Amino acid sequence: MLYPMHLEKGDRIGVIAPAGPPDLEKTSKAISFFQAMGLQVRFAEHLNRVHGYLAGTDEERLMDFHEMIDDRSIKAIFCARGGYGTARIVPYLDFELIKNNPKIIWGYSDITYLHTTIRQETGLITFHGPMLSDISRNNFDSLSGSLFQQLFEPTILTYSESISTLQTIVEGQAEGQLVGGNLSLIASSIGTPYELDVKDKLLLIEDIGEEPYRIDGMLNQLKLAGKLTDAAGIVIGDFAIVESKLPSSLTLQQVFQHYFAELMIPVMSGFKIGHCLPHFSVPLGAMAKLSTFDKTLVLKPGVM
């Protein structure tokens, strides 16, 4: 594992859009949140570019990311939003540059592809957490905001039922690196050079806007690829599903029971991690312990 250095007041952070084009008004609104933490904010050169459903061309988005990594004055990189497009630039990432300049990288959703690739190629711990598009929302809550403090000093995080009700699908306890993120992106990585490695790790999954049959299909793909049995445990985050348009449908819980109930590893659902508020931010690649006995997920620090 490669740890990024923690932030200090007065540090400068960079904002990039490696996937879809951000709403610049909302993105700018989030600057005050970082300034309140004593941070300076710099937008990437091409943050205002729009190329169809992408935030600029692949070359522009890649250039912005590399420039932020290479700039020694930038101590952390935050993504403005998700959408689609991160997978298009990962084959061209300069992993030596990233490894030689380890810094905080923060985002979720489509950024899952970036998290997975960077961690597996460099060992760098990155962060699954709300982006500027979330921070600018009027209902952005204090718990979600407080979890940014883990970036300022090494912090052990504990998720318990004081945050949300958790449901045990398979009892047990397991430890390992926490990996994963958005289920759609995890499934799309299978069969590529950047396929998610879950061997002896805790697998985090979350998604939004998918009907139960779509989630069923993605979990079936993970099952057939051996991912579910390779994992040491499964952490089920938030699934903001849409109402099924089919004449009849299984419930999401029925889908989860089908794929997880017979596993010999701990599986627990109900975590507010994903496209939700509150959004519990977690360091991906950090060591974690999942226990259904006391219904907790405990994560070791993601910074040094």
In the chain, the percentage of residues whose pLDDT exceeds 70 is 100
pTM comes to 0.96
Active site residues: 109, 206, 275
Task: Report the alpha-carbon distance of residue 121 to residue 161 in Å, rounded.
Answer: 35
Contact 107, 114 (CB under 8 A): yes
Contact 300, 134 (CB under 8 A): no
**How much is the pLDDT for 101?**
97
Mean pLDDT of 85-112: 98
* pLDDT reported for residue 245: 83
- Res 6: pLDDT: 98
Indicate the angle between helix axes 252-260 and 212-224, nearest 10 degrees. Answer: 10
Give me the pLDDT at residue 271, please: 98
DSSP 187-213: HHHTTSTTPPP-TTSEEEEEEES--HH
12-140: which CATH topology?
A: Rossmann fold (3.40.50)
- For the four alpha carbons of 204, 207, 213 and 218, in that order, the dihedral sign comes to negative
> What value does the mean pLDDT of the chain take?
97
pLDDT band at 221 (very low <50, low <70, confident <90, very high): very high
Q: What is the pLDDT of residues 15-62, one digit of tens each?
A: 999 999 999 999 999 999 999 999 999 999 999 999 999 999 999 999
Where residue 8 falls among pLDDT bands split at 50, 70, 90? very high
Cβ neighbours, 10 Å, residue 162:
7
Q: Give tens-digit pLDDT for 159-186.
A: 999 999 999 999 999 999 999 999 999 9
- Per-residue pLDDT band for 241 (boundaries 50, 70, 90) equals confident
- For 244-253, the pLDDT digits (tens) are 788 999 999 9
Q: What is the mean pLDDT of residues 7-13?
A: 98
In this predicted structure, the answer to whether residue 138 has a pLDDT above a threshold of 90 is yes
Residues 278 and 141 sit within 8 Å (Cβ to Cβ):
yes
- Domain range list for the chain: 12-140, 157-299
- pLDDT over 80 at 242, yes or no: no
pLDDT confidence tier of residue 235, bands split at 50, 70 and 90:
very high
Q: Read out DSSP for 25-82? A: HHHHHTHHHHHHTT-EEEE-TTTT--BTTBSS-HHHHHHHHHHHHH-TTEEEEEES--
In terms of CATH, what superfamily is 157-299? Answer: LD-carboxypeptidase A C-terminal domain-like (3.50.30.60)
Tokens of 137: 């929302």
- Given a cut of 90, is residue 243 above it in pLDDT? no
